[in-house]
């Protein structure tokens, strides 16, 4: 799953002369879905978009997330993010998911962002010809791709690191400079400077343990 994120002062999307979605300060997210994507990739990307610290604080440093500033999000489906331009002059889009599955995960992504806490989530119309207007503030434009940042070989941890991973993500005692969080009944401390939220830290810990199990059971 791919998301092209733009930090905007405002953005809107129009279909057949009707404005169907608009936001003020926040993020415009152009979302593309690949054929192997599932809810897991959508969960990861929704959390990443909501917690990415790309808004400036009182010192004009990128240190605040969309959730921190109470910002809004406009999500627009964008299968052309999967364009393959390696051959010829006409892009191929065979790397994109089927329309039905892409639409399902597009809707799921929006719902997940709302659950995480984004107050307003606007959207376009899947499959329609859309006109998107925006004022990019910065400019700040970032590409996220779960194929690069999620299930890669570099993400796997060794058995030797297992206890260290548990200590890092699920510490039950206070660690200097860390913040306290509770999620899904797990009580732990996490590094706020690395993970934008308790949810992010919890998810990272769960995935790290899952990959450790994968390593030890498959020998990879």
Annotated catalytic sites, by residue?
A: 80
φ, ψ (nearest 5 deg) of residue 175: -115, 130
Angle value at C-alpha 12, between 141 and 99, nearest 5 degrees: 80
- HSE-CB at 55 with a 13 A cutoff on CA atoms is 20
SS3 content of the chain, % helix, strand, coil (to 5): 35, 30, 35
Q: Strand 62-64 vs strand 131-145: parallel, antiparallel, or unpaired?
A: unpaired
Q: In sequence order, which ranges of 70-197 are alpha helices (DSSP H)?
A: 99-116, 146-149, 162-169
């Amino acid at each position: 799953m791919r998301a092209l994120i733009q930090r905007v002062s405002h953005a809107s999307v129009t279909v057949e002369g009707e404005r169907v979605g608009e936001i003020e300060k926040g993020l415009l997210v152009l979302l593309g879905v690949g054929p192997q994507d599932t809810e897991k990739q959508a969960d990861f990307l929704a959390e990443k978009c909501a917690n990415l610290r790309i808004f400036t604080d009182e010192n004009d440093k990128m240190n605040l997330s969309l959730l921190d500033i109470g910002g809004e999000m406009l999500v627009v489906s964008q299968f052309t993010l999967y364009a393959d331009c390696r051959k010829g002059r006409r892009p191929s889009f065979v790397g994109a998911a089927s329309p039905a599955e892409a639409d399902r995960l597009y809707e799921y992504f929006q719902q997940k962002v709302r659950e995480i806490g984004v107050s307003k989530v606007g959207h376009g119309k899947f499959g329609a010809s859309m006109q998107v207007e925006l004022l990019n503030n910065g400019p700040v434009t970032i590409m996220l791709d779960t194929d690069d940042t999620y299930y890669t070989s570099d993400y796997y941890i060794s058995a030797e690191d297992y206890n260290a991973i548990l200590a890092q993500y699920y510490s039950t005692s206070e660690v200097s400079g860390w913040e306290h969080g509770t999620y899904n009944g797990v009580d732990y401390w996490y590094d706020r400077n690395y993970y934008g939220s308790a949810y992010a830290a919890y998810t990272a810990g769960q995935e790290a343990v899952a990959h450790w199990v994968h390593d030890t059971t498959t020998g990879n």
